Structure 1
Amino acid sequence: MIDSKWRSKFQPLFDKMGKKLVTHNITPQAITWGAFVLGVVASIVVIQGWMLLSIALLWLSGLLDVLDGTVARLTRKSTKAGAYMDLILDRMVEAFYILAFAYKFPEGNYAYLLFYIAVIFNFTTFIVAATLFQNKGVKSIHYDVGIAERTETFIIFTLMGLFSYYIFPILMIFNVIIFITGIIRFKRVLNHCKLFD
Protein backbone atom coordinates (compact mmCIF):
# COMPACT_ATOMS: atom_id res chain seq x y z
CA MET A 1 0.00 0.00 0.00
CA ILE A 2 2.91 2.35 0.73
CA ASP A 3 4.18 1.93 -2.83
CA SER A 4 0.82 2.83 -4.36
CA LYS A 5 -0.01 5.69 -1.99
CA TRP A 6 3.39 7.36 -1.54
CA ARG A 7 5.31 6.60 -4.74
CA SER A 8 4.19 9.82 -6.45
CA LYS A 9 5.66 11.89 -3.58
CA PHE A 10 9.13 10.45 -4.15
CA GLN A 11 8.97 10.01 -7.92
CA PRO A 12 10.65 13.39 -8.69
CA LEU A 13 13.69 12.19 -6.70
CA PHE A 14 13.66 8.83 -8.50
CA ASP A 15 13.42 10.68 -11.82
CA LYS A 16 16.58 12.66 -10.98
CA MET A 17 18.42 9.46 -10.09
CA GLY A 18 17.08 7.77 -13.20
CA LYS A 19 18.31 10.60 -15.44
CA LYS A 20 21.81 10.18 -13.98
CA LEU A 21 21.72 6.49 -14.89
CA VAL A 22 20.45 7.32 -18.39
CA THR A 23 23.41 9.68 -18.96
CA HIS A 24 25.71 6.74 -18.19
CA ASN A 25 23.83 4.54 -20.70
CA ILE A 26 22.76 2.06 -18.00
CA THR A 27 19.86 0.00 -19.31
CA PRO A 28 16.71 -0.91 -17.34
CA GLN A 29 17.59 -4.58 -17.70
CA ALA A 30 21.06 -4.03 -16.19
CA ILE A 31 19.47 -2.21 -13.25
CA THR A 32 16.98 -5.06 -12.75
CA TRP A 33 19.81 -7.59 -12.65
CA GLY A 34 21.79 -5.31 -10.33
CA ALA A 35 18.83 -5.20 -7.93
CA PHE A 36 18.63 -9.00 -8.03
CA VAL A 37 22.36 -9.51 -7.40
CA LEU A 38 22.33 -7.03 -4.49
CA GLY A 39 19.31 -8.82 -3.02
CA VAL A 40 21.10 -12.17 -3.20
CA VAL A 41 24.23 -10.67 -1.63
CA ALA A 42 22.03 -9.19 1.14
CA SER A 43 20.75 -12.72 1.78
CA ILE A 44 24.27 -14.15 2.00
CA VAL A 45 25.18 -11.37 4.45
CA VAL A 46 22.24 -12.46 6.68
CA ILE A 47 23.87 -15.89 6.96
CA GLN A 48 27.08 -14.18 8.10
CA GLY A 49 25.09 -12.38 10.79
CA TRP A 50 25.88 -8.86 9.53
CA MET A 51 22.32 -7.61 9.83
CA LEU A 52 22.86 -3.86 9.40
CA LEU A 53 24.89 -4.40 6.23
CA SER A 54 22.29 -6.86 4.98
CA ILE A 55 19.46 -4.39 5.60
CA ALA A 56 21.39 -1.61 3.80
CA LEU A 57 22.02 -3.87 0.79
CA LEU A 58 18.38 -4.98 0.76
CA TRP A 59 17.14 -1.38 0.62
CA LEU A 60 19.70 -0.52 -2.05
CA SER A 61 18.36 -3.48 -4.03
CA GLY A 62 14.86 -2.05 -3.51
CA LEU A 63 16.00 1.37 -4.76
CA LEU A 64 17.39 -0.19 -7.93
CA ASP A 65 14.10 -2.04 -8.32
CA VAL A 66 12.35 1.34 -8.40
CA LEU A 67 14.93 2.86 -10.73
CA ASP A 68 14.74 0.15 -13.41
CA GLY A 69 11.14 1.07 -14.17
CA THR A 70 11.93 4.78 -13.92
CA VAL A 71 14.78 4.46 -16.43
CA ALA A 72 12.58 2.32 -18.70
CA ARG A 73 9.94 5.05 -18.78
CA LEU A 74 12.46 7.88 -19.23
CA THR A 75 14.06 6.10 -22.20
CA ARG A 76 10.73 4.75 -23.49
CA LYS A 77 12.09 1.22 -23.23
CA SER A 78 9.32 -0.04 -20.98
CA THR A 79 8.30 -3.54 -22.08
CA LYS A 80 6.07 -6.31 -20.81
CA ALA A 81 9.06 -8.67 -20.90
CA GLY A 82 10.98 -6.28 -18.65
CA ALA A 83 8.04 -5.99 -16.26
CA TYR A 84 7.74 -9.79 -16.19
CA MET A 85 11.43 -10.28 -15.46
CA ASP A 86 11.30 -7.59 -12.77
CA LEU A 87 8.36 -9.26 -11.00
CA ILE A 88 10.01 -12.70 -11.04
CA LEU A 89 13.41 -11.49 -9.84
CA ASP A 90 11.74 -9.44 -7.08
CA ARG A 91 10.06 -12.58 -5.76
CA MET A 92 13.36 -14.47 -5.99
CA VAL A 93 15.09 -11.82 -3.86
CA GLU A 94 12.36 -12.19 -1.22
CA ALA A 95 12.62 -16.00 -1.40
CA PHE A 96 16.41 -15.96 -0.96
CA TYR A 97 16.15 -13.50 1.91
CA ILE A 98 13.67 -15.68 3.80
CA LEU A 99 15.79 -18.76 3.02
CA ALA A 100 18.79 -17.01 4.60
CA PHE A 101 16.72 -16.27 7.71
CA ALA A 102 15.60 -19.90 7.83
CA TYR A 103 19.26 -20.95 7.85
CA LYS A 104 20.38 -18.36 10.41
CA PHE A 105 17.29 -18.48 12.66
CA PRO A 106 15.69 -21.92 12.17
CA GLU A 107 13.33 -21.45 15.13
CA GLY A 108 10.99 -19.49 12.84
CA ASN A 109 10.62 -22.25 10.24
CA TYR A 110 6.81 -22.48 10.34
CA ALA A 111 6.54 -18.73 9.82
CA TYR A 112 8.93 -18.95 6.84
CA LEU A 113 6.95 -21.79 5.27
CA LEU A 114 3.71 -19.90 5.74
CA PHE A 115 5.35 -16.84 4.17
CA TYR A 116 6.11 -18.85 1.02
CA ILE A 117 2.53 -20.14 0.86
CA ALA A 118 1.13 -16.63 1.41
CA VAL A 119 3.37 -15.14 -1.29
CA ILE A 120 2.47 -17.87 -3.81
CA PHE A 121 -1.23 -17.22 -3.19
CA ASN A 122 -0.91 -13.44 -3.24
CA PHE A 123 1.38 -13.33 -6.28
CA THR A 124 -0.91 -15.65 -8.22
CA THR A 125 -3.87 -13.33 -7.61
CA PHE A 126 -1.68 -10.38 -8.60
CA ILE A 127 -0.67 -11.97 -11.92
CA VAL A 128 -4.25 -12.98 -12.72
CA ALA A 129 -5.44 -9.44 -11.99
CA ALA A 130 -2.64 -8.09 -14.21
CA THR A 131 -3.89 -10.18 -17.13
CA LEU A 132 -7.61 -9.53 -16.62
CA PHE A 133 -7.77 -5.85 -15.69
CA GLN A 134 -7.14 -3.05 -18.17
CA ASN A 135 -3.88 -1.24 -17.51
CA LYS A 136 -4.59 2.44 -16.80
CA GLY A 137 -1.32 3.24 -15.05
CA VAL A 138 2.22 4.10 -16.12
CA LYS A 139 3.57 0.59 -15.57
CA SER A 140 3.86 -1.97 -18.39
CA ILE A 141 1.13 -4.15 -16.86
CA HIS A 142 -1.84 -3.52 -14.61
CA TYR A 143 -0.54 -3.10 -11.06
CA ASP A 144 -3.24 -4.13 -8.62
CA VAL A 145 -2.96 -2.25 -5.33
CA GLY A 146 -2.74 -4.33 -2.18
CA ILE A 147 -2.23 -3.92 1.55
CA ALA A 148 1.09 -5.81 1.43
CA GLU A 149 3.42 -4.52 -1.29
CA ARG A 150 7.21 -4.43 -1.70
CA THR A 151 7.96 -1.63 0.76
CA GLU A 152 5.92 -3.32 3.48
CA THR A 153 7.88 -6.51 2.84
CA PHE A 154 11.19 -4.68 3.20
CA ILE A 155 10.01 -3.03 6.42
CA ILE A 156 9.14 -6.47 7.84
CA PHE A 157 12.53 -7.88 6.73
CA THR A 158 14.20 -4.92 8.42
CA LEU A 159 12.30 -5.55 11.66
CA MET A 160 13.24 -9.23 11.48
CA GLY A 161 16.91 -8.29 11.12
CA LEU A 162 16.85 -5.75 13.94
CA PHE A 163 14.72 -7.80 16.36
CA SER A 164 15.74 -11.39 15.67
CA TYR A 165 14.19 -12.66 18.94
CA TYR A 166 10.77 -11.68 17.57
CA ILE A 167 11.07 -13.05 14.02
CA PHE A 168 8.21 -15.51 14.48
CA PRO A 169 5.51 -13.04 15.64
CA ILE A 170 6.69 -10.31 13.25
CA LEU A 171 6.53 -12.60 10.23
CA MET A 172 3.32 -14.33 11.30
CA ILE A 173 1.50 -10.99 11.56
CA PHE A 174 2.78 -10.09 8.10
CA ASN A 175 1.73 -13.47 6.74
CA VAL A 176 -1.84 -12.72 7.83
CA ILE A 177 -1.65 -9.34 6.06
CA ILE A 178 -0.37 -11.01 2.87
CA PHE A 179 -3.23 -13.54 2.99
CA ILE A 180 -5.77 -10.74 3.52
CA THR A 181 -4.29 -8.89 0.52
CA GLY A 182 -4.60 -12.02 -1.61
CA ILE A 183 -8.15 -12.76 -0.46
CA ILE A 184 -9.32 -9.22 -1.25
CA ARG A 185 -7.78 -9.43 -4.72
CA PHE A 186 -9.12 -12.97 -5.23
CA LYS A 187 -12.65 -11.72 -4.55
CA ARG A 188 -12.11 -8.72 -6.85
CA VAL A 189 -10.97 -11.02 -9.67
CA LEU A 190 -13.94 -13.36 -9.13
CA ASN A 191 -16.37 -10.43 -9.24
CA HIS A 192 -14.73 -9.21 -12.43
CA CYS A 193 -15.08 -12.65 -14.02
CA LYS A 194 -18.75 -12.88 -13.09
CA LEU A 195 -19.40 -9.78 -15.20
CA PHE A 196 -18.46 -11.83 -18.28
CA ASP A 197 -20.05 -15.18 -17.36
Structure 2
Amino acid sequence: MFDARLRPLIDPPLNAAGRALSRMGIGANAVTLAGLVPALGAAFAIAQGHFTLGLVLIIVNRLLDGLDGAVARASGITDFGGYLDTLADYVFYVAVPVAFGLASPVNTAPAMLLIASFTLTCASFLVFAAIAVRRGKETAAHGTKSIFYSTGLAEGAETIAAFVAMCLWPERFPLIAIGFAVLCLATVIQRSLLARQAFTPE
Protein backbone atom coordinates (compact mmCIF):
# COMPACT_ATOMS: atom_id res chain seq x y z
CA MET A 1 0.00 0.00 0.00
CA PHE A 2 2.85 2.40 0.86
CA ASP A 3 5.60 0.94 -1.34
CA ALA A 4 4.97 3.19 -4.33
CA ARG A 5 4.84 6.29 -2.11
CA LEU A 6 8.13 5.38 -0.44
CA ARG A 7 10.02 4.83 -3.70
CA PRO A 8 10.87 8.52 -4.31
CA LEU A 9 12.43 8.65 -0.84
CA ILE A 10 14.41 5.42 -0.82
CA ASP A 11 15.41 5.08 -4.48
CA PRO A 12 17.95 7.96 -4.72
CA PRO A 13 20.31 6.73 -1.93
CA LEU A 14 19.84 3.09 -2.95
CA ASN A 15 20.60 3.86 -6.60
CA ALA A 16 23.74 5.77 -5.62
CA ALA A 17 24.93 2.82 -3.53
CA GLY A 18 23.96 0.43 -6.33
CA ARG A 19 26.04 2.34 -8.87
CA ALA A 20 29.01 2.27 -6.49
CA LEU A 21 28.73 -1.50 -5.97
CA SER A 22 28.34 -2.03 -9.71
CA ARG A 23 31.53 -0.05 -10.37
CA MET A 24 33.30 -2.32 -7.86
CA GLY A 25 32.25 -5.32 -9.93
CA ILE A 26 29.69 -6.64 -7.45
CA GLY A 27 26.70 -8.16 -9.22
CA ALA A 28 23.06 -7.94 -8.24
CA ASN A 29 22.71 -11.71 -7.89
CA ALA A 30 25.62 -11.79 -5.44
CA VAL A 31 23.88 -9.16 -3.31
CA THR A 32 20.63 -11.16 -3.45
CA LEU A 33 22.37 -14.34 -2.28
CA ALA A 34 24.24 -12.42 0.41
CA GLY A 35 20.88 -11.19 1.70
CA LEU A 36 19.80 -14.77 2.38
CA VAL A 37 22.43 -15.03 5.13
CA PRO A 38 20.86 -12.42 7.46
CA ALA A 39 17.38 -13.63 6.47
CA LEU A 40 18.08 -17.16 7.66
CA GLY A 41 20.15 -15.80 10.55
CA ALA A 42 17.17 -13.74 11.68
CA ALA A 43 14.94 -16.81 11.56
CA PHE A 44 17.42 -18.83 13.62
CA ALA A 45 17.80 -16.04 16.18
CA ILE A 46 14.03 -15.58 16.54
CA ALA A 47 13.46 -19.32 16.91
CA GLN A 48 15.96 -19.26 19.81
CA GLY A 49 14.20 -16.31 21.43
CA HIS A 50 16.80 -13.68 20.47
CA PHE A 51 14.31 -11.17 19.11
CA THR A 52 16.54 -8.07 19.16
CA LEU A 53 19.21 -9.85 17.13
CA GLY A 54 16.48 -11.08 14.81
CA LEU A 55 15.29 -7.51 14.30
CA VAL A 56 18.79 -6.29 13.44
CA LEU A 57 19.25 -9.10 10.91
CA ILE A 58 15.83 -8.39 9.38
CA ILE A 59 16.89 -4.77 8.79
CA VAL A 60 20.19 -5.92 7.24
CA ASN A 61 18.31 -8.29 4.96
CA ARG A 62 15.91 -5.60 3.79
CA LEU A 63 18.79 -3.21 3.07
CA LEU A 64 20.45 -5.85 0.92
CA ASP A 65 17.13 -6.57 -0.76
CA GLY A 66 16.89 -2.91 -1.75
CA LEU A 67 20.52 -2.83 -2.87
CA ASP A 68 20.27 -5.80 -5.22
CA GLY A 69 17.63 -4.01 -7.25
CA ALA A 70 19.72 -0.85 -7.30
CA VAL A 71 22.76 -2.78 -8.53
CA ALA A 72 20.60 -4.43 -11.20
CA ARG A 73 19.35 -1.05 -12.40
CA ALA A 74 22.94 0.15 -12.64
CA SER A 75 24.38 -2.91 -14.38
CA GLY A 76 21.36 -4.23 -16.28
CA ILE A 77 18.19 -6.01 -15.15
CA THR A 78 17.99 -9.71 -16.06
CA ASP A 79 15.10 -12.16 -15.96
CA PHE A 80 17.09 -14.60 -13.80
CA GLY A 81 17.92 -11.79 -11.40
CA GLY A 82 14.22 -11.00 -11.06
CA TYR A 83 13.47 -14.67 -10.44
CA LEU A 84 16.22 -14.98 -7.82
CA ASP A 85 15.18 -11.76 -6.06
CA THR A 86 11.53 -12.82 -5.83
CA LEU A 87 12.47 -16.29 -4.59
CA ALA A 88 14.77 -14.80 -1.93
CA ASP A 89 11.98 -12.46 -0.82
CA TYR A 90 9.62 -15.35 -0.19
CA VAL A 91 12.30 -17.34 1.63
CA PHE A 92 12.50 -14.38 3.99
CA TYR A 93 8.73 -13.90 4.24
CA VAL A 94 8.21 -17.55 5.19
CA ALA A 95 11.29 -17.99 7.41
CA VAL A 96 10.33 -15.28 9.89
CA PRO A 97 6.83 -16.55 10.81
CA VAL A 98 8.14 -20.13 10.88
CA ALA A 99 10.76 -18.96 13.38
CA PHE A 100 8.14 -17.34 15.60
CA GLY A 101 6.08 -20.52 15.39
CA LEU A 102 9.10 -22.48 16.63
CA ALA A 103 9.85 -19.96 19.37
CA SER A 104 6.69 -20.76 21.37
CA PRO A 105 3.84 -23.28 21.12
CA VAL A 106 1.40 -20.39 21.57
CA ASN A 107 2.64 -18.98 18.26
CA THR A 108 2.21 -22.15 16.19
CA ALA A 109 -1.38 -21.72 14.97
CA PRO A 110 -1.08 -17.96 14.26
CA ALA A 111 2.19 -18.60 12.40
CA MET A 112 0.53 -21.26 10.25
CA LEU A 113 -2.35 -18.91 9.48
CA LEU A 114 0.08 -16.16 8.51
CA ILE A 115 2.10 -18.47 6.24
CA ALA A 116 -1.13 -19.64 4.58
CA SER A 117 -2.15 -16.04 3.93
CA PHE A 118 1.32 -15.31 2.52
CA THR A 119 0.91 -18.27 0.17
CA LEU A 120 -2.38 -16.94 -1.18
CA THR A 121 -0.96 -13.41 -1.48
CA CYS A 122 2.06 -14.77 -3.35
CA ALA A 123 -0.17 -16.75 -5.73
CA SER A 124 -2.37 -13.74 -6.48
CA PHE A 125 0.68 -11.53 -7.05
CA LEU A 126 2.58 -13.90 -9.33
CA VAL A 127 -0.42 -15.03 -11.41
CA PHE A 128 -1.50 -11.41 -11.86
CA ALA A 129 2.05 -10.54 -12.96
CA ALA A 130 2.22 -13.41 -15.44
CA ILE A 131 -1.10 -12.53 -17.10
CA ALA A 132 -0.34 -8.79 -17.07
CA VAL A 133 2.96 -9.33 -18.88
CA ARG A 134 1.32 -11.63 -21.42
CA ARG A 135 -1.19 -8.87 -22.12
CA GLY A 136 1.58 -6.30 -22.52
CA LYS A 137 0.75 -4.31 -19.41
CA GLU A 138 3.47 -2.23 -17.75
CA THR A 139 3.81 -0.20 -14.56
CA ALA A 140 6.60 1.82 -12.95
CA ALA A 141 4.75 2.64 -9.73
CA HIS A 142 7.16 0.44 -7.76
CA GLY A 143 10.24 1.44 -9.72
CA THR A 144 11.85 -0.44 -12.57
CA LYS A 145 11.22 -4.15 -11.99
CA SER A 146 11.80 -7.34 -13.93
CA ILE A 147 8.21 -8.46 -13.29
CA PHE A 148 4.86 -6.67 -13.14
CA TYR A 149 4.08 -5.38 -9.63
CA SER A 150 0.39 -5.03 -8.80
CA THR A 151 -0.51 -2.79 -5.89
CA GLY A 152 -2.09 -4.29 -2.77
CA LEU A 153 -3.00 -3.44 0.80
CA ALA A 154 -0.22 -5.67 2.14
CA GLU A 155 3.06 -5.01 0.35
CA GLY A 156 6.70 -4.97 1.37
CA ALA A 157 6.56 -1.95 3.67
CA GLU A 158 3.57 -3.29 5.59
CA THR A 159 5.20 -6.72 5.93
CA ILE A 160 8.40 -5.24 7.32
CA ALA A 161 6.42 -3.10 9.75
CA ALA A 162 4.62 -6.23 10.98
CA PHE A 163 7.87 -8.17 11.37
CA VAL A 164 9.46 -5.27 13.27
CA ALA A 165 6.45 -5.13 15.58
CA MET A 166 6.71 -8.87 16.18
CA CYS A 167 10.35 -8.54 17.21
CA LEU A 168 9.69 -5.53 19.45
CA TRP A 169 6.67 -7.14 21.12
CA PRO A 170 7.14 -10.92 20.67
CA GLU A 171 4.56 -11.68 23.35
CA ARG A 172 1.97 -10.11 21.03
CA PHE A 173 2.94 -12.20 18.03
CA PRO A 174 -0.39 -14.09 17.85
CA LEU A 175 -2.39 -10.87 17.68
CA ILE A 176 -0.04 -9.22 15.15
CA ALA A 177 0.12 -12.36 13.01
CA ILE A 178 -3.65 -12.84 12.88
CA GLY A 179 -4.19 -9.15 12.13
CA PHE A 180 -1.68 -9.17 9.31
CA ALA A 181 -3.08 -12.43 7.93
CA VAL A 182 -6.46 -10.71 7.67
CA LEU A 183 -4.80 -7.83 5.79
CA CYS A 184 -3.15 -10.33 3.42
CA LEU A 185 -6.48 -12.01 2.72
CA ALA A 186 -8.03 -8.61 2.06
CA THR A 187 -5.19 -8.01 -0.40
CA VAL A 188 -6.03 -11.25 -2.21
CA ILE A 189 -9.66 -10.15 -2.52
CA GLN A 190 -8.60 -6.67 -3.67
CA ARG A 191 -6.21 -8.07 -6.27
CA SER A 192 -8.80 -10.57 -7.48
CA LEU A 193 -11.31 -7.77 -8.06
CA LEU A 194 -8.61 -5.81 -9.89
CA ALA A 195 -7.81 -8.88 -12.00
CA ARG A 196 -11.47 -9.30 -12.88
CA GLN A 197 -11.60 -5.68 -13.99
CA ALA A 198 -8.29 -5.80 -15.90
CA PHE A 199 -8.54 -9.23 -17.49
CA THR A 200 -12.25 -9.66 -18.31
CA PRO A 201 -13.01 -8.99 -21.98
CA GLU A 202 -15.29 -6.02 -22.56
Structure-1-length-normalised TM-score: 0.93
Q: Where does residue 82 of structure 1 map in the other structure?
A: 81
C-alpha distance in structure 2 between counterparts of 1:167 and 1:47, whole Å: 13
Residue 111 of structure 1 is matched in structure 2 by 110
- 1:37: Cα distance to partner? 1.7
Q: 1:61: Cα distance to partner?
A: 0.4
Residue of structure 2 in register with 1:186 after alignment? 192
> CA offset at residue 126 of structure 1?
0.5
Paired AA for residue 184 in structure 1: Q
What secondary structure does 2:139 align onto? coil
Indicate which of 127, 135, 139 corresponds to 1:136. 139
Secondary structure, aligned partner of 1:140: coil
Offset, 1:106: 2.0
Stretches of structure 1 lacking an aligned partner (at least 5 in a row) = none
Shift of residue 31, structure 1, vs aligned partner? 0.6
Runs of 4+ more than 6 Å apart? none
Contact map agreement 2:110 2:178 (CA 8 A) in 1 = yes
1:127 aligns with 2:126: yes
Establish whether residue 158 from structure 1 lines up as the match of residue 164 from structure 2. yes
Q: What secondary structure is seen at the aligned counterpart in 2 of 1:35?
A: helix
Task: Give 1:50 shift.
Answer: 2.0
Runs of at least 5 residues in structure 2 that lack an aligned partner in the other structure: none
Structure 2 matches for 1:15-94, cutoff 5 A?
15-76=15-76, 78-94=77-93
Amino acid at match of 1:60: V
- Offset of 1:120 from its aligned partner? 1.0
* Distance (whole Å) between structure 2 residues aligned to residue 123 and residue 186 of structure 1: 12
Seq. identity, %: 28
Q: SS of the residue aligned with 2:33?
A: helix
Provide the aligned C-alpha RMSD in A.
1.4
Q: Report the CA distance shift for 1:136/1:94 in structure 2 as closer, same or farther (over 3 A).
A: closer
Report if the CA contact (8 A) 2:101-2:109 is conserved.
no
TM-score (norm 2): 0.91
